[in-house]
A and B are shown apart, each in its own frame.
Chain A
Amino acid sequence: MKRRTFCASSAGLLALPLTLGRGSRAAEATVFMSTQLRPVEAAQAMRTVILKDYHGSVDFVPDQPAALIVRMEAEAETNKHTVSLLAGVHGELQPLAPKGILMPLDDVAAALKDRGFAPDLMDLGKFGTSQQLFIPWMQATYIMVANKKALPYLPAGADINALSYAQLGAWAADVQKATGKRLLGFPAGPTGLMHRFFEGFLLPSYTGGVVTTFRSADAVTAWTEFAALWKTVNPNSTNYNFMQEPLLTGDVWIAFDHVARVIDALTKQPDDFVAFPAPAGPKGRGWMPVLVGLCIPKGAPDVAGAKALIDYLTRPEVQIATARVAGFFPVTNAPLPPDLNPGLKLAVAAIQRTGAAKDGIAALLPVGLGDKSGEFDKIFLDTFQRVVLRGQAPRAAVDLEGAALAKLMSDTGAPCWRPDPPSQGACVVK
């Protein structure tokens, strides 16, 4: 993986001067720099499959996020522009916005209105400003997957695509009553992504925030109710890293995880499973998009080409092609073709429903924590450990861990990210 990344970046380094040479003669190839699809196979799939029907010529140059940022800053400072289009995860490209490097794309967004972008995702592309600076391209997120055997126990009147945490609890409790087993599962093992559930789903759903509301009364409610829900959770959950495994063995009937970590269950046995959005709490349906989008730097040599590429990449058929070969899913309501792998189709539908939920609260991946992001995650996992696994009082636990969080935020000076309201300076734990 590392070596492949290295090869990909070396290939990028080799490609760039070639491009420069050509670019100075005639603006034929649009230079498209991306922090995503870096592995050689993925980059190759990008060039040969995803970009196959694009009429213009494109130089797709994958590179590390840090390298992309440095390059764009250097190009802006020296006013020598080579790159026309940028792709990266939302949090990776955000630092370019306050530096004034990105071109407003409101006209592009308006022209693409009929593509059916999830409004929440489009809104994220403003980076907290009044202008559209980033157009969503592809995404991944966390979804829920259930074995069809669990469906008869859904609470009466509950819509599986718009569940609440209370309904999920009632559902899992009924499954337990009927089977005698706890069949709800979470990825709380050593390399599981359980912290993302707290940072992006549970706490935003109950408190509307993550950092600022960490010590709030709403947060205490969230932890109290989650501890109650945990009574229906398979105790092996603290060993689960990828939920597709217990889903396939039948040890778990209802599970939450990153789409990449349940996709095997969906594609191997698409007839046995359903996929649906994570539940909603009192404040809404918290969810964590892993959003990859497109930006055009100010002074780009080929603005028209870049805009044409944005148009191309967000077309329904290209969105579906991307889902097929790249493992990233549509950000628009692209209609799914009948021949799409049924498991992939389940995942895409669940992700589209998540993004389109009217009560959605998008919670971003933590931004600006640097090498403290591991300790940030630990605060949420330790609170879970205290309240849920060790039965400590939620109030005392959030106060204790909240103090650690407050110190971490002031040490890093990281400003708030969504859904917390924007802050001047470090994000403050209220």
Chain B
Amino acid sequence: MHGGRALPYLLIAPATFFLAVLFLVPLAQTVALAFQADGAWSFANFSTMADDLNFHDAVVNSFRLVAVAVPVQFCLALGMAMMLRHVRRGRDILLWIWSIPLGVSDLAAGVVWLAILTDHGYLNSVLFHLGVIDEPTSWLTYETPVALFFAVAVAEIWRATAIVLLILVAGVQVLPKEYGEAAAVFGASPWRGFVSVTLPLLKPSIQTALILRTVLAFEAFAVVLAIGGNNFPVLVSEAYHWQHFNQDTGVAAAYAMVVMVISIAATLVYLAVLRTPPGQRA
């Protein structure tokens, strides 16, 4: 069956071709842009980037956002996935409602949260009607960095928890029931069963979810730009600024390199820390 052996490769050939053309080629071009200035190879773009006023803030903000959003999203999604296990009726509807934010575009999500949190937004109106505040309060200015960070984090958590949830739900569905039942027979409490049986079995799904979510959180852009504007620079919004306003593609490409290196590093860390030996796979 000569043709049969080639068939899988033929089937994945279009996808591979498109990935190569639409991903690898631009990647190579970005690397070339980042390491070239005035037609010669150099680190000039990186030194411009590192010397820039916003670079430090952008790095700190990006890491802070990931450090807060990803663990919160993970815990929320894990809790939701566990609860869904025990829902008998309406499970599909619930899952569907929980994944609505996935269908909303990043920018739309940012604008929705802006409409809630701005001076004349819904939050201020509600607080005003409840008599909590006497006049609209500004949450999103450079003078209120904590509230601003909180606003960006909440919007990002709202927008992207569903992707973690869906991956975990898929993982939970294929878990064999026997392990949990065996633990119960030996007298394990539900919590003990969750920690010692369910979590280790879920490790491959958790790894996938965390890698995906962390990489995407480092690429957060539209939500951050809509809510934070210039007051909350992150790595990708700086790349956009250098490309769009400062018209310096080299520095923008340098930022893209930084985001890529961080993403690869984060992926490697997750791969190493959450490694599942073949024998333990469910």
B119 contact from A238, A251, A377, A389, Cβ within 8 A:
A251
Q: How extensive is the interface on chain B, given as a class?
A: 10 to 19
B246 contacts across to A, CB distance below 8 A: 374-375, 378
Given that A374-B245, A378-B246 are contacting pairs, would A236 and B230 also be in contact in the complex, using a CB cutoff of 8 Å?
A: no
Q: Which chain A residues lie closer than 8 Å to B140 at the CB level?
A: 236, 239
Q: Are A386 and B53 in contact (CB under 8 A)?
A: yes
- Is A249 in contact with chain B by the CB < 8 A criterion? yes
Nearest-neighbor residue (CB-CB) of B231 within chain A: A238
Check A238 against B53 for contact (C-beta < 8 Å): no
Decide yes or no: A236 and B138 within 8 Å by CB, A189-B229, A249-B120, A385-B53 being known contacts. Answer: yes
Q: What residue in chain B is nearest A378 (Cβ atoms)? A: B246
A residues less than 8 Å from B245 (CB atoms): 374, 377-378
Tell me the residues in window 181-210 of chain A with beta carbons closer than 8 Å to chain B beta carbons. Answer: 188-190
- Which 10 pairs across A and B sit closest by C-beta, in order of nearness? A235-B141, A374-B246, A235-B143, A374-B247, A371-B247, A382-B53, A190-B229, A374-B245, A375-B246, A190-B230
Q: Interface residues, chain A, CB within 8 Å of chain B?
A: 188-190, 235-236, 238-239, 249, 251, 371-375, 377-378, 382, 385-386, 389
Instruction: Encode contact with A along B237-269: 1 for CB under 8 Å, 0 otherwise.
Output: 000000001111000000000000000000000
What is the minimal beta-carbon distance from A411 to any residue of chain B, in angstroms? 9
Chain A nearest Cβ from B49, distance in angstroms: 13
Given known A190-B225, A249-B120, contact A238–B247 (CB-CB < 8 A): no
**Cβ proximity bits B52-80 to A, threshold 8 Å, 1 near / 0 not:** 01000000000000000000000000000
> Can you name the residue of chain B whose Cβ is closest to the Cβ of A250?
B120
Within 8 Å by CB of B229, from A239, A374, A382, lies A239
B96 part of interface (Cβ distance < 8 Å): no
In the complex, chain B residues whose CB is within 8 Å of the CB of A236: 119, 138, 140-141
Point out the residue from A189, A371, A374 that lies within 8 Å of B230, measured CB to CB: A189
Contact partners of A377 in chain B: CB under 8 A: 245
B interface majority secondary structure: loop
User: Cβ of B142 < 8 Å from any Cβ of A?
Assistant: yes
Bound: A97/B53 CA distance, A: 39
Q: What CA separation (Å) do A372 and B144 show in the bound complex? A: 33
- Can you list 10 residue pairs at the A/B interface with Cβ under 8 Å? A190-B225, A235-B143, A236-B138, A238-B230, A239-B141, A374-B246, A374-B247, A374-B248, A382-B53, A385-B53
Give the one of A251, A374, A385 with max B CB within 10 A: A374
Which chain A residue shows the least CB distance to B52? A382
Q: Are B138 and A235 in contact (CB under 8 A)?
A: yes
Q: How far is the CB of B145 from chain A (nearest CB, A)?
A: 11
Q: Which partner residue on chain B sits nearest A240 by CB separation?
A: B229
Q: Closest A-chain residue to B244, C-beta based?
A: A374
CB contacts (< 8 Å) of B225 on chain A: these are 190
A382 and B48 CA atoms in complex are apart in Å by: 14
| Measured CA separation A249–B230 after assembly (Å) | 22
Cross-chain contact B231 with A239 (CB below 8 angstroms): yes
Contacts of B247 in A (CB 8 A): 371-375
Residues on the B chain within 8 Å of A251, using CB: 119
Q: How far is the CB of B171 from chain A (nearest CB, A)?
A: 40
Q: Is the CB of B142 within 8 A of A235?
A: yes
Q: Which residues of B contact A189 (CB under 8 A)?
A: 229-230
Considering only residues 104-124 of chain B, those with a C-beta below 8 Å from chain A are 119-120
Among B138, B142, B229, B248, point to the contact of A389 (Cβ < 8 A).
B142
Closest-by-CB residue of B relative to A192 is B230
Complex interface: chain B residues within 8 A of A235 (CB): 138, 141-144
Task: Judge whether A375 and B142 touch: CB under 8 Å.
Answer: no
B141 proximity list for chain A (CB < 8 A): 235-236, 238-239
Q: Given A189-B230, A374-B247, A375-B247, 20 more contacts at CB 8 Å?
A: A190-B229, A190-B230, A235-B138, A235-B142, A235-B143, A236-B138, A236-B141, A238-B229, A238-B230, A238-B231, A239-B140, A239-B141, A239-B231, A251-B119, A371-B247, A374-B246, A377-B245, A385-B53, A386-B53, A389-B142
Within the assembled complex, what's the spacing in Å between the Cα atoms of A382 and B242? 13
A residues in contact with B248, CB < 8 Å: 374-375
- Provide the bound-state CA to CA distance between A140 and B231, in Å: 30
Q: Roughly how many angstroms separate A377 CA and B229 CA in the complex, as a whole number?
A: 17
Distance A382 CA – B54 CA, assembled complex (angstroms): 9
Least Cβ–Cβ distance between A15 and chain B, in angstroms: 33
Write out the residue numbers on chain B whose beta carbons fall within 8 Å of the beta carbon of A239: 140-141, 229, 231
In the assembled complex, how far is the CB of residue A98 from the closest CB belonging to chain B, in whole angstroms? 26
A235 to B142, CA, bound (A): 7
> What residue of chain B has the Cβ atom nearest to residue A404's Cβ?
B51
The residue among A236, A372, A385, A386 with the most chain B CB atoms within 10 A of its own CB is A236
Query: A404 to B225, alpha carbons, bound, how many Å?
Result: 27
Please, how many angstroms separate the alpha-carbon atoms of A375 and B247 in the complex? 8
Q: Please, which residue of chain B has its CB at the minimum distance from the CB of A239?
A: B229
Distance in Å from the Cβ of B257 to the closest Cβ of chain A? 20
In the complex, residue of chain A having the shortest beta-carbon distance to the beta carbon of B53? A382
Please, how many angstroms separate the alpha-carbon atoms of A385 and B56 in the complex?
A: 14
B119: chain A residues at CB < 8 Å are 236, 251
Q: Kindly state the separation between the CA atoms of A385 and B144 in the bound complex, as whole angstroms.
A: 16
A259 to chain B, nearest CB (A): 22
* Nearest Cβ on chain A to B77's Cβ, whole angstroms: 32
CA distance A190 to B229 in the complex (A): 6
CA distance A235 to B230 in the complex (A): 13
Q: Which residue of A lies closest to B38 (CB)?
A: A411
Complex Cα distance A189/B118, Å? Answer: 14
Residue of A at shortest CB range from B143? Answer: A235
What sequence of 0s and 1s flags, for each residue 125-169 of chain B, a beta carbon within 8 Å of any chain A beta carbon?
000000000000010111110000000000000000000000000
Q: Give CA–CA (A239, B140) in the complex, Å.
A: 9
Residues of A within 8 A of B142 (CB): 235, 238, 389
Smallest beta-carbon distance B229→chain A, Å = 5
A312 to B119, CA, bound (A): 49
